[in-house]
Amino acid sequence: MAGTTPDLSRAYSPLAIGPLTLRNRFIKSATNEGMSPDGIPSRQLVQFHSAMAAGGVGLTTLAYCAVSPDGCTLPNQIRLDRNTLPHLRVLTDAVHAQGAAVSAQITHGGCFTFIRAPGQRRPLSASGGFNKIGLMSGQYLKRQMSVADMQRVAADFASGARLAREAGFDAVEIHMGHGYLLSQFLSPLYNKRRDEYGGSLDNRLRFPRQVLRQVLDAVGNELAVICKFSITEGVRGGNSIEEGVQIARELAAEGAHLLVLSAGLNAESITTMFGSSFPPENRAVVTNPVMKAAMFVQSLVEKPVPFRELYLLEHARRIRSAVDVPLAYLGGVASADGVERVMAEGFDSLALGRVLIHDPAWVNSLRHGQSLRSGCTACNRCVTMMYSEGGTSCVLNGPGDAALNRLPAAG
């Protein structure tokens, strides 16, 4: 009814996911921060997530923690190992001091990498052959993983989860979307195998399910185990929402505590992921000429898409009606009305990215009636700010602190 105040009470009520109870249902989604020079978390990264916690979220997510050296996509990506533990402990302590929980997103890039792993001639993937992502790093071929490779990587995910627990994290989020390794197994665009790990979706799910099971066995009684996946890939020949429903059912059956409902692929359908086009200004931030060229080509291939709030709601409803597991809606929540609608539709939590980069205190502002709509314009320029010296930031607020970003968190 026009003029009524949105009912946000459910959004601010506690939520249990596995062994973890969140103080409310707002989650800062994983967004690459660009705040770990040489793979070491910086003081700027600690400040970034501490601000999210102080701003009111129930859970903040540290993005792209690689579970092994050959799992890194970017040269400055965090690796979950003994060297990063003291720095990660500073971050988790800072978040806990603000009353929030914190999750480590654990991932392996597979063939979606811009660096060469030590001692590895070809990056791993579901299938071998031509590697289009490798055009940016000179790795033109990828290698089909053997069963032994899969056993090793699954163990790396479990080991990474145990290290996250040791570092003080409350949850781990297994990244199964956007074209990284586990997504490469799920997607028919990447998975051309002819064994029990390829072909039907049941087979393509086999390895991601094995990873989930090993992580649950490793930490599932002590940490919440979350899975983020693409409910639709948004590109011809890729998984549609029908496959997304089946993936959700299988991950729920395997025991995932929460599913984060994302969409799209980094290379093939990035506007599906973000719900709007990327502006030409983004290329000015990137210094790598090959990446600049790739972004230009991508802008020519993808049609302009204007932003609309709750752009993934129609697809996400299909998942909600199919599973009983807790779900985090992700996709363009930008107002009190949007929060109310997502809660009314039966989703258990809201995963927010750009609106919190714009204003980390938006959750508290919303609660106290100081804001009914985010000031984020969904321009997507924050996405490439990760390549700047100060890391990911909103261009409306200025760049991040480059000096702070050069200092190790535990230094």
Kindly list the catalytic residues: 180
Cα–Cα distance measured from residue 362 to residue 335, given in angstroms and rounded to the nearest whole number: 10
What is each CA distance from 252 to 22, 65, 146, 200, in whole angstroms?
20, 23, 26, 19
Give the max Cα distance, the chain.
63
How long, in residues, is the chain? 411
Concatenating the DSSP letter of every residue in 119-136 gives: T-SS-EESS-EE-GGGGG
41: left (phi over 0), alpha (psi -120 to 50) or beta: beta
Secondary structure (3-state) at 173? strand
Q: Which residues pair with 350 in a beta bridge?
A: 26, 329
Residues with Cβ within 8 Å of residue 62, at least 6 apart in sequence: 30, 33, 45, 49, 78, 88, 91, 102, 103, 104, 105, 169
Virtual CA dihedral for 239, 25, 310, 271, nearest 10 degrees? -50
Is there a contact between 345 and 333 (Cβ–Cβ < 8 Å)?
no
Cα Rg, the chain, nearest whole Å = 20
Is there a contact between 299 and 398 (Cβ–Cβ < 8 Å)?
no
Amino acid at 249: R
Block residue for tokens 């001091």: 97
Block residue for tokens 């997504």: 183
